[in-house]
Amino acid sequence: MSSTLSFPRNFVWGVATAATQIEGAASADGKGPSVWDTFARRPGRILNGDTPETACDHYRRYPQDIALMRSLGVKHYRLSLAWPRIYPAGDGSLNPRGLDHYSRLIDALLEAGITPWVTLFHWDLPQALEDRGGWRSRVTVDAFATYADTVVRHLGDRVKHWITLNEIRCFTVLAYAPGGDKAPGGKEPPAVINQMYHHALVCHGHAVRAVREHGRRGARVGLTDNSEICVPVTETAADITAARRWFAQRNIHLLDPIYRGAYAPAYLRACGANRPRVSRGDFDLIGLPTDFLGLNVYNAKFVRAGSRGAPETLPMPSHYPRTDSPWHDLTPQALYWGPRFVHELYRPKALYITENGCGYDDEPVVKGEVFDLHRREFLRSYLRELHRAVGDGVPVRGYFLWSLMDNFEWQDGYTRRFGIVHVDYRSQKRTPKLSARWYARVMHENRLV
């Protein structure tokens, strides 16, 4: 690799979305409500009282959106399926119209020369399952196993790339623990949250099993995790070692079971009486070999070696640059150290950055254009660090930009725009931003421009 910042041949460049955030049609064709549909109706939960009811109307406009992707030269597209479209009540009767919709969508993508990367679960738990205990309950695990089997049986002849779950933390601890801001909301104590992680891990295992049992030959599957990432504040050996330790401690509960087939003794010790209950056979599923790990990378904490080398996190100075998402600082080094630490600690066969991007409020279209130079700079700085990781031998094989278009950003509603394509929510008009033109060139030339 040279100073032109080229990426290796066959590097996968793509864009990502998720069902709830773009589809709309929240009750069309027999779809059941998800926890996000319900949550959005509760006053004060979502900025401006926004709901996912209409979103980008992608459910109906997908042919145009595929044409748009094609015009940008997109070759890989990460999307998610809405579980409550397929099983409106989570389990029980199947809704063929939901499945047919995704079947048509996959066909249309393949026809356009776009490879689908399908996420089975991106937070939209059927409300009916939540009413029966949601992630607290094994009922959800059994229902998910059936859902995964059904989906892979129906779409597995065409879909080669599967992602089991998106960001376990976000639909467990950030959704059910005090202070969480995601659906369905709750005030569950640590014992329940640890049990939810466990249920989610078993679901991940079921999805891997379903792909192996019903998928096509050579189908690939992996989890997408939002590992907590840290950056050594200086790249000295002591700070790097401290940061690696911090990374290991913060991610042990999710990555150890997947890569080592058991909970780490240190994790169980830390849980004490709150340790999860494990059923026979759980680790046979959780530890099934996967083909890659997906990482969603946005943010990082700075860490240094404190007394006796113990990791010490540093507060962010108030003048540190950040996006309009209060949780999201400009920490491009996350895209170097995150993949590197995962690689050093767990050696996944391959890594994909399944999301990376930035959200800003109010990006108006002026004379048909959106000059999101800030987004281009943001992405460029992150991709430079990714290039460094690849150059240092970290097996990152691809990158998906979040997001193709502005969409329903969960608790932040439609205010925060992450798209490289602008969406006018009144007219549903799509306008590629400057960043879309730039990223189209990056994908096409396979290098940072």
For the bound state, the minimum distance from the C-beta of residue 273 to ligand FCB, rounded and expressed in Å, comes to: 31
Cα separation, 221 vs 3, in Å, equals: 33
For the bound state, the minimum distance from the C-beta of residue 99 to ligand FCB, rounded and expressed in Å, comes to: 23
DSSP 8-state symbol, 322: B
For the bound state, the minimum distance from the C-beta of residue 414 to ligand FCB, rounded and expressed in Å, comes to: 12
Across 241-264, b (16+ Cβ under 10 Å) vs e yields ebbbbbbbbbbbbbbbbbbeeebb
Tell me whether residue 344 is one of the annotated catalytic residues: no
Tell me whether residue 355 is one of the annotated catalytic residues: yes
Site for ligand FCB in 200-229 (CB under 6 A): 226
374 three-state secondary structure: helix
Segment near ligand FCB (CB under 6 A), from 140-148, 164-172, 199-207, 278-286? 164-172
Residue facing ligand FCB at closest CB distance = 18
Contact between 402 and ligand FCB per CB under 6 A: yes
Q: Which of 336, 410, 414, 438 binds ligand FCB (CB under 6 A)?
A: 410
What mask of x and - would describe binding to ligand FCB in positions 306 to 345, judged by CB under 6 A?
----------------------------------------
* Binding residue count for ligand FCB, defined by CB under 6 A: 12
436: Cα within 13 Å, side-chain hemisphere: 24
Choosing from 355, 363, 385, 409, the catalytic residue is 355
Q: Which of 95, 119, 164, 166 binds ligand FCB (CB under 6 A)?
A: 166
For the bound state, the minimum distance from the C-beta of residue 174 to ligand FCB, rounded and expressed in Å, comes to: 9
Q: Which residues contact 235 (CB under 8 A, 6 or more apart)?
A: none
Contact between 167 and ligand FCB per CB under 6 A: yes
Q: Which residues contact 315 (CB under 8 A, 6 or more apart)?
A: none
* Tokens representing residue 376 in the block: 């281009």
Contact between 34 and ligand FCB per CB under 6 A: no
* Tokens representing residue 437 in the block: 């033109």
Q: What is the DSSP string of 285-320?
A: HHT---SEEEEE----EEEEE-GGG-EEEEPPPTTS
Q: Which of 172, 290, 296, 333 binds ligand FCB (CB under 6 A)?
A: 296
Choosing from 23, 130, 167, 409, the catalytic residue is 167
- For 136, 156, 192, the CA distances from 146, given in Å and listed in that order, are 18, 15, 24
φ, ψ for residue 349, nearest 5 deg: -60, -40
For the bound state, the minimum distance from the C-beta of residue 418 to ligand FCB, rounded and expressed in Å, comes to: 5
Cα separation, 328 vs 318, in Å, equals: 13
Site for ligand FCB in 342-361 (CB under 6 A): 355
Contact between 239 and ligand FCB per CB under 6 A: no
- For 163, 194, 211, 306, 378, the CA distances from 206, given in Å and listed in that order, are 12, 19, 9, 41, 37
Q: What is the DSSP string of 241-266?
A: HHHHHHHHHHHHHHHHHHHHSS--HH
Nearer to ligand FCB, 410 or 439 (CB): 410
Q: Which of 5, 12, 15, 18 binds ligand FCB (CB under 6 A)?
A: 18
Catalytic residues: 167, 355
* Residue ranges binding ligand FCB (CB under 6 A): 18, 21, 166-167, 170, 226, 296, 355, 402, 409-410, 418
